[in-house]
Amino acid sequence: MSGVTALRRLAQQQLRRSASASSSSSSPSSLVQQKRFYAADPNAPPKVSYPWKDPMNPGNWKEEHLVFVILGGWGAVIMGGKAALS
């Protein structure tokens, strides 16, 4: 089974479940979406607003800052390789 087929099957199952759940109960409380907290660790240390406020501790950086640093590193490697080979 390919990955696309598996994803399509999962989507169809979820649509069936949500359709049956909405048709079986018409109360307004069932129509309210469930709130999800993906990264809601109350004991986590606070993230710094800017990486240069705490440059030696990437664990306190926000995820966006890490993405920018990683993309910048890959860009430097690719451009350096291109300059070295040309």
| pTM for the structure as a whole | 0.46
**DSSP, residue by residue, 30-83:** HHSPPP--SS--TTSPPPPSSGGGSTT-GGGS-HHHHHHHHHHHHHHHHHHHHH
Reported as a single tens digit per residue, the pLDDT across 8-35 is 777 777 777 776 665 555 555 555 555 5
Mean of the pLDDT values across residues 41-59?
80
